[in-house]
Structure 1
Amino acid sequence: MSANPKILYPIIDGQVTGGNIVCLHLIEAALNQGWDVLVNSPSEGRFCDILREKGVTVYHLDTTRSFNWLSAVKMAQLIKKEEVSLVHAHAPFAGSIISALAGKLAGVPVIIHAHLQDALSSNSLIRSYQNMMNYWTSRKCCNAMIAVSYQVKDALITEGFDSRKFYVVHNGTLVNNREIDSNIRNELNIPEDIPVVIHIGRLCKSKGQHLLLQAAANLQQLGQEAVYLIVGKDLEQNGAYLDYLKDMAQELGINNSVHFLGHRSDIPQLLALSDLLVLPSYTEGLPLVILEAMAAGLPVIATPVGGIPEVVIHQETGLLVPVGDVQALVNAMLKLLQNPDLRNEMGNKGSEMVRKDFSVEKMCDEVFDIYEKVGLFCNSYTN
Structure 2
Amino acid sequence: MHSGNLYGGVESFLRTLAREQRGAAGPVHAFALCFEGRLSRELREEGASVTLLGGARVSRPWTVWRARSALAERLGRERYVAGVCHSPWSQALFGPVVRASGLPLVFFQHDALAGKHWVERWARVTPPDLSISNSRFTAGTLRNLYPDRPWKVRYLPVAPPAPGSGEERAKARAELGAGEHETVIIQASRMEAWKGHRLLLEALGRLRHVPGWVLWVAGGAQRPYEARYLAELEAQATELGIRGRVRFLGQRSDVPRLLRAADIHCQPNLGPEPFGIAFIEALQARLPVVTTAMGGPLEIIDGSCGVLVAPRPEPLAEALRRLIEAPEERRRLGAAGPARARELCEPSVFFRGLAEDLRTFSSRGLS
* TM-score bracket relative to the smaller structure: 0.7 to 0.9
State which of 309, 314, 317 in structure 2 corresponds to 1:321.
309
The residue aligned with 2:52 is 59
Report the counterpart of residue 166 of structure 1 in structure 2: 151
Equivalent position to 2:178, from 172, 190, 196 = 190
CA distance in 2, matches of 1:267, 1:360: 19
Which residue, out of 1, 5, 9, partners 1:14? Answer: 5
SS at match of 1:229: strand
- TM-superposition CA deviations, 1:324-379 (whole Å, max 9, x none): x1112111111222222222222122221112332222222211221222249x98
* Worse-matched range after superposition: 284-293 or 68-77: 68-77
Matched residue pairs, number?
Answer: 356
Shift of 1:197: 0.2
Matches of 2:123 and 2:179 in 1, distance apart?
Answer: 55
Partner of 2:336: helix, strand, or coil? helix
Cα shift at 1:25: 1.8
SS of 1:297's equivalent in the other structure is coil
Give the counterpart of 2:83 among 76, 84, 87.
87
Q: Select the residue among 341, 344, 355 that pairs with 1:357.
A: 344
| TM-score of the two chains, using structure 2 as the length reference | 0.88
SS at 2:182 equivalent: coil
Note if contact 1:64-1:94 (Cα within 8 Å) is conserved in structure 2.
no
Compute the displacement of 1:205 (Å): 0.5
Distance 1:168 1:202, change over 3 A: same
Q: CA deviation at 1:51?
A: 1.7
Distance 1:94 1:67 in 2: 14
Q: What residue in structure 2 maps to residue 220 of structure 1?
A: 208
What is the match of residue 160 of structure 2? 175
3-state SS in 1 of match to 2:275: coil
Name the SS of the counterpart of 1:193 in structure 2. Answer: coil
Structure 2 residue aligned with 1:110:
105
- Report if aligned partners of 1:293, 1:300 keep a CA contact under 8 Å in 2: yes
Aligned with 2:37 (options 41, 45, 50): 45
Conserved? CA contact 1:73–1:105, under 8 Å: no
Aligned equivalents of 2:248, 2:69: Cα separation in 1: 43
Query: For structure 1, which runs of at least 5 residues remain unmatched after alignment?
Result: 1-9
Q: Match of 2:32, as an amino acid?
A: N
**Residue number in structure 2 paired with 1:156:** 142
Q: 1:264 aligns with which of 252, 261, 284?
A: 252
Flag the 1:179–1:103 CA change in 2: closer, same or farther, 3 A. farther
| Structure 1 residue matching 2:126: 3-state secondary structure | helix
Number of the residue aligned with 2:71: 75
CA shift in 2, pair 1:149/1:67, >3 Å: farther
Partner of 2:356: 369
Q: Give the CA deviation at 1:120.
A: 5.2
Give the letter aligned to residue 101 of structure 2.
A
What secondary structure, in the 3-state scheme, does the structure 2 residue paired with 1:365 have? Answer: helix
What corresponds to 2:329 in structure 1? 342
Kept in 1, the 8 Å contact 2:131–2:150? The answer is yes
Alpha carbons of structure 1 residues 63 and 320: separation in structure 2 relative to 1, 3 Å:
farther
Distance 1:286 1:298 in 2: 18
Superposed CA offset, 1:133-171 (max 9, x none): 42x533xxx2211101001001112x1424551100011
CA distance in 1: counterparts of 2:84 and 2:37, whole angstroms:
20
The offset of 1:231, in angstroms, is 0.1
Could you tell me whether the CA contact under 8 Å between 1:61 and 1:75 is conserved in 2?
Answer: no
C-alpha deviations, 1:267-299, integer Å up to 9, x for none?
A: 222111111110111231111110000011111
Bigger Cα displacement from structure 2, 53-62 vs 181-190: 53-62
Counterparts of 2:236 and 2:207 in 1: how far apart (Å)?
15
Structure 1 SS opposite 2:265: strand
The DSSP-based 3-state class of the residue aligned with 1:298 is coil
Normalising by the residue count of structure 1, what TM-score does the alignment of the two structures yield?
A: 0.84
Aligned in 2, Cα 1:322/1:163: closer, same or farther, shift over 3 Å? farther
RMSD in angstroms over aligned alpha carbons? 2.6
Deviation at 1:86, TM superposition (A): 1.8
Distance 1:66 1:89 in 2: 20
The share of aligned pairs that are identical, in percent, is 23
Q: 1:98 aligns with which of 68, 93, 100?
A: 93
The answer (yes or no) to whether the contact 1:299–1:343 under 8 Å persists in 2 is yes
CA contact (8 A) 2:35 2:52 kept: no
1:11 CA displacement: 1.8
Counterpart of 1:175 in 2: which secondary structure?
coil
Q: Which moved more, 1:232-241 or 1:103-112?
A: 232-241
Q: Check whether the contact 1:300–1:312 (CA below 8 A) recurs between aligned residues.
A: yes
Aligned-pair CA distance for 1:58:
2.8
